[in-house]
Chains A and B, each alone.
Chain A
Amino acid sequence: MVSISFPFSMILLIAVIGYFAARRKAIAMVKGNLRQLQALPQAYGQTVFFTTFLPATVILLGWAFVVRIMGPSYALISDGLFQVLVIITAAVGAALSYLRVKPSQRARAISERWIMGVLMAASALAILTTIGIVISMLSESAIFFRQHSWSDFFFGTVWAPNFRGGSQLSILPLLWGTLYISFISLIIAVPVGLYAAIYLSEYASPSLRSVAKPAIEVLAGIPTIVYGLFALITVGPMLRDFFVQPLGLGSSSSSVMTAGLVMGVMLIPFVSSLSDDIINAVPQAMRDGSLGLGATKSETIRQVVVPAALPGIVGAVLLAASRAIGETMIVVLGAGAAARFDLNPFEAMTTVTVKIVSQLTGDTDFASPETLVAFALGLSLFVITLGLNIVALVIVRKYREQYE
């Protein structure tokens, strides 16, 4: 453990003192005649502040994180000594930059270079996150594949974890449930979302549009746990009592259909807002040309606007598919936990995300393949959704350029 609060407050204190001291020094050196300074007095202060604060803080936080990860035994020096060293770093930074303060110093440029460094570090965090995701899943998956055969994972047909050993852990039955549910949700969301977008952008009166568009967008703002509960307490029992049991199709309230229906509703606003953007990007001249030749509005839409927008719509559908595949709470509460290949959509089936949750919650032993399989599942999920996203983004981007 490295304590952070004390050295951090000391660094901050030194930096603030340095700021005011440098400002005073700069003013004093020109005897108050500010026009002889290269920069405003506060720029000298800022230079000292950043030179003091940033390197010491980066060392402090970086070291704390390294010690956290490697364990205290890897800390080469004691915590107390390290604190002293960090505070000395700050003090040295303050002293050196304070001594450099003179009227001819280009203080603004220096302080702006520090700010630029901070901005660049912030944008690099996006890359770090991705690296973190990949490393965290790769390293644990590697342990999993050392304990469990990869051919069973990718090509086996049975999901039967057994904590006494001899588990069969195959992704295929889970992938089947995932794709089946996603398929049903897309069958609902794509036509409804697309037609809603077309109606709202081409036909609806401004007053209807001003009510209906926000209402559909509200659906997008509702957390997925709400949809999950909706599937669990309303849609599932209703499907079972009024449809599935009377027709003798099954007896379970959690099923592929329950999860698919609710997920379809969740994806409607997603598809409709993406398609809306894409349809609006089709140039008006193309519509005018078609209408001028005597086509009706619907003919124009079906034969001109939609074909022109098709690549973008395909991209939107792929993005929706990636959302559906990665969705967790709706399937955890609505789809069930049984891993099987079945065509009956009223049977309970399970998905990749459900199994990630169930293998990683509760008492978990991070040495057993039954737990580690979750990381391999997560990695597969990441690769699948990443592939879909990249293809979709490329298509959407290409399409946008076409009409710009």
Chain B
Amino acid sequence: MNLYHSKIHRSLLVKDARTQQRNNAELRFRAYGLTAVSVGIVALVILLVSIFTSGMTAFQQTKLQVTLELPEAKLDKKGQRDLVAMKKVTTIGYFKVLGDGLIAQLERLGIETGLKAKEVREILSKESAATLRNAVLADPSLIGSTVTMEFLANGRIDGYFKGRVDRASAQLDKNVEPGQLDIADALAERRLMYTRFNFNFILAPDASDQRPEAAGLGVAILGSIYMMLVVLFVALPVGVAASIYLEEFAPKNRLTDVIEVNISNLAAVPSIVYGILGLAIFINMAQFNQSSPLVGGLVLTLMTLPRIIIPARAALKSVPPSIRDAALGVGASRMQTVLHHVLPLAAPGILTGVIIGLGQALGETAPLLLIGMVAFVREYPAAFTSDSGLFGEASTALPVQVFNWTQRADPSFVERASGAIIVLLVFLLIMNALAIFLRRRYERRW
């Protein structure tokens, strides 16, 4: 009996062992594929959840209200309200006045502390003295009166309200006493200490290592906007011009071939190499200012150019030849054909590519580290000054600020770094949504 006859008794509906095995292999293969897709999606979800849970609290800030007297004897000894003389009182002096005001307020409210005066004072952020000083210097008539103002609480107290610090960890922490947390609770009960939306996180400049509660993204956002302007105004025209030439006019020869291979290679060169280029050429050779948005913008422009040219060429290519033939047929020159007919039709596709390229430039960090944008900058950079020229003043950028905060010792900066990432992602989301909108609304399918 041969093999053929042995199987003939079986029903067609019963699968033999080999078919079963092959079907199982098929199922396994599908399962691998599905697993791979889910791994990707789960990774995305974990990434976003971890950033958002640790960063959302940066948008809230604990503040406390203090009603205090501003004694003339300490803040303006001569009593002449002369700004020059008043500026001699530093924030240290103001911090003492403010701390005394807080202690007096606690006594008025009948809150027992059992702490040293210094420890009570440290419930306030070190930044609050500067807040008070600026308010007094702006309006000297406040001296001698009793004012009620809102001040930032210390980073650890802020952490207590956000669940980062508790009494057990406070016991171990040199920077905060459990007694301070008791005071914070008592003040919160009387609605003098509260957590509010933190506009300063978006608007204020960076703050030093000891005062994470005051650190903000103002300078970084401004610097990023300046750099994006440079990229937009240099990379957009140059990129579009280059892609028009390469796609519409370039003869097929050695040189254009070299340029094409070059552009695809430049798109794949590690971004840090552009940082080295910027450092060597723009800063060491051409002596542009370190940390300036101009240099940052130029480096990002060089990096973004190939990433704009490649999609722009694809957009030009997708315009059907019949459009060109029609224009040439009615007597337009080749240049007129391209500028009057092909380019407008390709514009939505080109713009989409430009926006995506800008998004990549916005999130790029490594090259900016090398050209000195990690510097600690507290002054808002001006767009133009006669000394340092256009976009020449020192600045930081959003992604670099994130890196900067990860290098600080105080753990409160982790929250700030994650919060800054959320701001960055929101900007990217807006840009990509705009790109998708442009594509959906204007792009034509031929």
Which residues of A pack against B, CB within 8 Å? 65, 68-69, 71, 108-109, 112, 115-116, 118-127, 129-130, 132-133, 136-137, 139-140, 191-196, 198-200, 202-204, 212, 215-216, 218-219, 221-230, 232-234, 265, 268-269, 272, 296-299, 301-302, 319, 322-323, 325-329, 332-333, 353, 356-357, 360-361, 366, 374-375, 378, 381-382, 385-386, 389-390, 393
Give the complex CA separation of A9 and B33 in angstroms: 61
Chain A residue with the shortest CB-CB distance to B424: A223
Asked if B147 is at the interface (CB within 8 A of a chain A CB), the reply is no
Which residues of B pack against A, CB within 8 Å? 22-23, 25-26, 29-30, 32-37, 39-41, 43-44, 46-47, 50-51, 54, 237-239, 241-242, 244-246, 249-250, 258-259, 261-266, 268-277, 279-281, 284-288, 302, 305-306, 309, 333, 335, 339, 356, 359-360, 362-366, 369-370, 372, 374, 399, 402-403, 406, 414, 417-418, 421, 424-425, 428, 432
Chain A residue with the shortest CB-CB distance to B334: A112
Are A127 and B259 in contact, CB atoms less than 8 angstroms apart? yes
Give the complex CA separation of A88 and B75 in angstroms: 61
Decide: A356 near B276, CB < 8 A? Known: A116-B249, A200-B37, A226-B421: yes
Decide: A298 near B29, CB < 8 A? Known: A227-B47, A326-B273, A329-B366: yes
Contacts of A229 in B (CB 8 A): 51, 402, 406, 417-418, 421
Chain A residue with the shortest CB-CB distance to B268: A389
Q: Report the minimum CB–CB distance from A254 to chain B (whole Å).
A: 11
Are B271 and A296 in contact, CB atoms less than 8 angstroms apart? no
In the assembled complex, 12 residue pairs joining A and B whose CB atoms fall closer than 8 Å, in A order, are A126-B259, A126-B266, A127-B259, A129-B302, A196-B36, A199-B32, A223-B399, A301-B29, A328-B270, A328-B366, A389-B264, A390-B265
Contacts of A357 in B (CB 8 A): 272, 366, 369-370
Q: Report the minimum CB–CB distance from A358 to chain B (whole Å).
A: 10
Are B40 and A216 in contact, CB atoms less than 8 angstroms apart? yes
Q: Report the minimum CB–CB distance from A243 to chain B (whole Å).
A: 16
Q: Report the minimum CB–CB distance from B47 to chain A (whole Å).
A: 5
Are B258 and A127 in contact, CB atoms less than 8 angstroms apart? yes
Are B305 and A126 in contact, CB atoms less than 8 angstroms apart? yes
Nearest 6 pairs of A and B residues by beta carbon: A326-B270, A223-B363, A199-B33, A136-B280, A195-B36, A122-B241
Q: Report the minimum CB–CB distance from B204 to chain A (whole Å).
A: 21
Are B47 and A226 in contact, CB atoms less than 8 angstroms apart? yes
Interchain CB contact (< 8 A) of A385 among B32, B238, B241, B268: B268
Give the complex CA separation of A170 and B201 in angstroms: 43
Q: Report the minimum CB–CB distance from B29 to chain A (whole Å).
A: 4
Are A296 and B26 in contact, CB atoms less than 8 angstroms apart? yes
Contacts of A327 in B (CB 8 A): 270
Decide: A233 near B244, CB < 8 A? Known: A221-B432, A223-B363: no
Are A226 and B424 in contact, CB atoms less than 8 angstroms apart? yes
Are B26 and A297 in contact, CB atoms less than 8 angstroms apart? yes
Contacts of B399 in A (CB 8 A): 223, 225
Contacts of A198 in B (CB 8 A): 33
Tell me the dominant secondary structure on chain A's binding face: helix
11 new A-B pairs (CB below 8 Å) besides A122-B241, A202-B33? Answer: A123-B250, A129-B302, A130-B266, A136-B276, A200-B37, A216-B44, A233-B418, A326-B273, A332-B366, A360-B369, A361-B372
Are A125 and B30 in contact, CB atoms less than 8 angstroms apart? no
Interchain CB contact (< 8 A) of A223 among B241, B286, B365: B365
Give the complex CA separation of A200 and B432 in angstroms: 23
Contacts of B360 in A (CB 8 A): 223
Contacts of A319 in B (CB 8 A): 268
Contacts of B250 in A (CB 8 A): 123
Are B333 and A192 in contact, CB atoms less than 8 angstroms apart? no
Decide: A374 near B22, CB < 8 A? Known: A119-B249, A126-B266, A328-B271: no
Chain A residue with the shortest CB-CB distance to B415: A233
Q: Report the minimum CB–CB distance from A204 to chain B (whole Å).
A: 7
Interchain CB contact (< 8 A) of A326 among B40, B47, B269: B269
Decide: A298 near B30, CB < 8 A? Known: A230-B50, A329-B366: yes
Q: Report the minimum CB–CB distance from B246 to chain A (whole Å).
A: 6
Interchain CB contact (< 8 A) of B273 among A108, A297, A366, A382: A382
Contacts of B25 in A (CB 8 A): 296, 298-299
Decide: A215 near B40, CB < 8 A? Known: A130-B262, A226-B51: yes
Contacts of B418 in A (CB 8 A): 229, 233
Interchain CB contact (< 8 A) of B284 among A203, A366, A381, A385: A366
Chain B residue with the shortest CB-CB distance to A299: B22
Q: Report the minimum CB–CB distance from B345 to chain A (whole Å).
A: 18
Interchain CB contact (< 8 A) of A221 among B43, B359, B417: B359
Q: Report the minimum CB–CB distance from A342 to chain B (whole Å).
A: 24
Interchain CB contact (< 8 A) of A325 among B238, B270, B305: B270
Contacts of A381 in B (CB 8 A): 270, 272-273
Q: Report the minimum CB–CB distance from B373 to chain A (whole Å).
A: 10
Give the complex CA separation of A98 and B233 in angstroms: 31
Contacts of A202 in B (CB 8 A): 33
Are B280 and A225 in contact, CB atoms less than 8 angstroms apart? no
Contacts of B35 in A (CB 8 A): 195
Contacts of A124 in B (CB 8 A): 259
Are B417 and A136 in contact, CB atoms less than 8 angstroms apart? no
Q: Report the minimum CB–CB distance from A378 to chain B (whole Å).
A: 4
Are B365 and A329 in contact, CB atoms less than 8 angstroms apart? yes
Give the complex CA separation of A228 and B405 in angstroms: 13
Are A129 and B249 in contact, CB atoms less than 8 angstroms apart? no
Contacts of B285 in A (CB 8 A): 68-69, 136
Chain B residue with the shortest CB-CB distance to A138: B280
Give the complex CA separation of A312 and B275 in angstroms: 31
Q: Report the minimum CB–CB distance from A334 to chain B (whole Å).
A: 11
Contacts of A123 in B (CB 8 A): 241-242, 245-246, 250, 259
Chain B residue with the shortest CB-CB distance to A378: B276
Give the complex CA separation of A166 and B82 in angstroms: 58
Q: Report the minimum CB–CB distance from A390 to chain B (whole Å).
A: 7
Contacts of A112 in B (CB 8 A): 333, 335
Are A215 and B41 in contact, CB atoms less than 8 angstroms apart? yes
Give the complex CA separation of A126 and B47 in angstroms: 36
Give the complex CA separation of A78 and B362 in angstroms: 39
Chain A residue with the shortest CB-CB distance to B363: A223
Contacts of A226 in B (CB 8 A): 47, 51, 363, 421, 424-425
Most chain B CB within a 10 A radius of its CB, from A65, A71, A199, A302? A199
Interchain CB contact (< 8 A) of B37 among A108, A216, A323, A329: A216
Give the complex CA separation of A233 and B272 in angstroms: 23
Q: Report the minimum CB–CB distance from A181 to chain B (whole Å).
A: 14
